[in-house]
A = this chain, B = another copy of it.
Amino acid sequence: MIQFYAPDIETTLTLPESDSQHCVRVLRRSEGDVIVAIDGRGKRFTCRIIEAHAKRARVEIIGTEYLHPFWQGKIAIAVAPTKHLDRMEWLTEKLTEIGVDRITPLLCRHSERRDIKQSRLEKIAVSAMKQSLKAVCPEVDDMTPFMQFVEENRQTAQKFIAWCDDSHPRRLLSQALQPGLDAVVAIGPEGDFSPEEVDAAMAVGFIPVSLGNARLRTETAALVACDTFHIVGQLAGTDSAKPS
């Protein structure tokens, strides 16, 4: 099944240019054909093509489906981008496939990479969303200084910080989280969070956690953290248990 991505389809009844082109030029869909489009915010539309325009394909909506979120709350993964951009791009694809609401690239004291290409990560997220038949596209933030990220999450229901220093006692994320509530997990750079960063986070209620007994690369840790929510959610029955 092919899903077109049309964030404003409900109001404009039109596919954006790139998806119009893909639909009409590449896939040769024409007037009267039925297609599926998603708005990236949880709705999937069944549409009939009214005008097979290669830049602004017009449709009528013949069915609307609200896709239940995979988790009752929102999942945000904040991660210090890796030195090699391809690992961050890979992570964006995988997080989107598995299911995430927000990806925040963190600028930390020990960050090896201090800039990202936000638009490129957004593009990868859209592509992964279409591929995985999801209807939710994660919000991809621009690079965010760690202290700003901490401030912005003062009110988040549950917040975790995973870091490698084993001088502090930590619980396993899988055992510390409460299924269904909004959650954010911060994953540090290869050089780990600084003690000041950990203190600042803990001061506003971040809970220090471990992801298990392996030393994971940054991007692997971010992926495992996100997957932990889904698995625990499945076991608690708050994740969608309907296989599809």
Centre residue among A97, A166, A242 by max chain B CB count within 10 A: A97
Q: List 26 A-B contacts (CB under 8 A).
A: A70-B213, A90-B90, A97-B216, A97-B217, A97-B220, A98-B212, A98-B214, A98-B220, A99-B214, A131-B217, A134-B214, A166-B244, A170-B243, A171-B243, A172-B241, A174-B231, A175-B234, A212-B230, A212-B234, A213-B239, A213-B240, A215-B244, A227-B228, A228-B231, A231-B232, A235-B235
The residues of B that contact A232 with a CB separation of less than 8 Å are 231, 235
Chain B nearest Cβ from A119, distance in angstroms: 23
The residues of B that contact A70 with a CB separation of less than 8 Å are 212-214
Per the bound structure, the CA–CA distance linking A244 and B209 in Å amounts to 11
Are A234 and B174 in contact (CB-based, < 8 A)? yes
Per the bound structure, the CA–CA distance linking A137 and B214 in Å amounts to 13
Interface size of A in residues (CB-CB distance below 8 Å) = 40
Interface residues of A in 194-244 (CB under 8 A from B): 209-210, 212-217, 220, 223-224, 227-228, 230-232, 234-235, 239-244
Are B133 and A214 in contact (CB-based, < 8 A)? yes
A30: interface (CB < 8 Å): no
- Other than the known A134-B214, A175-B234, what 20 A-B pairs have Cβ atoms closer than 8 Å? A70-B212, A70-B213, A70-B214, A94-B220, A94-B223, A97-B216, A97-B217, A98-B220, A131-B217, A133-B215, A171-B243, A172-B234, A172-B243, A174-B231, A212-B230, A212-B234, A213-B240, A213-B242, A227-B227, A227-B228
Q: What residue in chain B is nearest A174 (Cβ atoms)?
A: B234
Chain B nearest Cβ from A13, distance in angstroms: 27
Per the bound structure, the CA–CA distance linking A239 and B172 in Å amounts to 11
